[in-house]
Amino acid sequence: MKPCITALALLGALAGAAQAETPYEADQRQQLEKAQREGKLSPDVVQRLRWEQEWRTQHPGQPMPNPGQMQKLHQAEIIANTNAGFAKMRAQRQAQLQHEYQMSRANQQRQLDAQHIHWTSQQWQQWDRQYDAAQRQKAQDYLNGIKQAGEIDQMQRDQEERDRIFKPPQ
């Protein structure tokens, strides 16, 4: 189970204020320290802790900016991380698609070998075109399904709204 630490409690626990720690703040601080030791912090919390540590190092004695200001200060890093995440996701998807293509082609080759048939490069090019067309159709069918599901959901919401508005008094 991941520890549930609110941003306010996290900031309060890390601020090192002159006030005495309340039992709640002490508990939040202990949970945070335990999560850090066990490596169970989310990437967002780790990032926030790193930013706060950098702020304390670079601006000793100055008050900690609020989370919104901290995000503005690190906007370039956030954008770079987002772009890197999308690039990684795209690369994984391309690798998955390439693997599926290779598996399909190997399966086709096994079927041909079992029948002692050897295709020419033109026949393989035709197979590639058919494979690509089938993949495009599969993607289009998926998009059409999503669109249709959205339309059905919208019709249900509209019907529920009409039923709520025009419901006869009892």
**Over the stretch 113-166, which tens digit does the pLDDT of each residue have?**
999 999 999 999 999 999 999 999 999 999 999 999 999 999 999 999 888 888
Rounded distance between C-alpha atoms, residue 109 and residue 104, angstroms: 9
The pTM for the full model equals 0.57
CA distance 138 to 144: 10
Query: Higher model confidence: residue 2 or residue 62?
Result: 62
